Amino acid sequence: MKATYAKYILNFKRPSGTSRGVLKTKETWFIQLSNGTHAGIGECGILRGLSIDDRPDYEEKLKWASDNIHLGERELLQQLVEFPSIQFGLETAFRSLKAHQKTNDAFQLFPSNFSEGKSGMKINGLIWMGEFDFMKEQIQQKIDQGFTCIKMKIGAIDFEKEIQLLKQIRSHFSVEEIELRVDANGAFHPDEALAKLEQLSEFDLHSIEQPIEVGQFEKMNELCRKTPLPIALDEELIGVFDAPNKKKLLDEINPQYIILKPSLIGGFQGSEEWIQLAEERNIDWWMTSALESNIGLNAIAQFTYTKQVTMPQGLGTGSLYTNNLESPLTINGEEIWYNSKARWAPFNALFE
């Protein structure tokens, strides 16, 4: 078996505001496995400034994995614990190769009604950070498209203006009509977080992600105990590699939800471990992509569907780019679908 990898720069259709600034491009890496007659592909979806494996030796480690592909999936994953995005890329590539060998379709990673185009999955409509009018415009567009769950990033503009936006949404749409989620990306100071959560709770929000910065277990636990609205941990999960530390985090903070991003937490294997530990503690969860191309998004979406999820997932990033790989993934209303009649663009050219 031979492995090759290639860097790819995704170009945003329009600059997109995040807690780490405005993004115009997104770096990703593809890894291809080939046995001479069949091939598989995976995406190592690194997020600069957020991924725990955003390190100077990243490409060196990717080259090591490619050069040592003979070690096999299990051994490679064990040796790449500190590189969760490479773990995710390899897991996907191995599964893709097996699928190509079995069905001649390298993208049927987790066969189901979703991958066969018979069923869709509800997702949230994501509102990017920006000026008040821009955020307001996005919200209206998502509502017009048919979304009943909207996720709004907060903490970038004046808090009172964000409150205004939420007030405006609720004045037109009840909690039965629109589910509202907000993501603070750790923007609140611990001393003022509870007061802000109380203000936000007036708008019947589904949840708030990561209200304060990571690593403050005691303060986060206090917030989770006293909060008037459910709290979801997101960035808090990044860099927590082994089961004992995962258990410690969940036990010491005891959140209402956790959010799983396979590229950031060790792929499918890492996600499975978090899911098991969370469910043992009656903590609910949902899955979110992390600005991957359609290669990574497809893997995450197919995996997520097998978990028989019912709440809206965060899987709608495929249409952000001008140069995404053409795929059968589509957004219909508020659902992501896999159009089984459509075809993927050939991926061999990515490695030339």
Residues annotated as part of the active site: 153, 261
Q: Where are the beta strands (DSSP E) in the chain?
A: 2-18, 21-34, 39-44, 121-122, 125-127, 149-153, 179-183, 207-209, 231-233, 257-260, 284-287, 329-332, 335-338
Cα 164-16-327 angle, rounded to 5 deg: 120
Judged by DSSP in three states, 328 sits in coil
Residue type, 244: P
Residue 253, class by beta-carbon neighbours within 10 Å (0-12 exposed, 13-18 middle, 19+ buried)? buried
Residue 199's CB: how many other CB atoms inside 10 A?
15
Please give the distance of CA 194 from its chain centroid, rounded to a whole number.
26
Partners of 207 in the β-ladder: 181
**Rounded to whole angstroms, how far apart are CA atoms 209 and 211?**
6
Residue type, 22: V
Residue 66, class by beta-carbon neighbours within 10 Å (0-12 exposed, 13-18 middle, 19+ buried)? middle
- Closest-CA residue to 118 (of 318, 337, 300, 315): 337
**Rounded to whole angstroms, how far apart are CA atoms 87 and 102?**
23
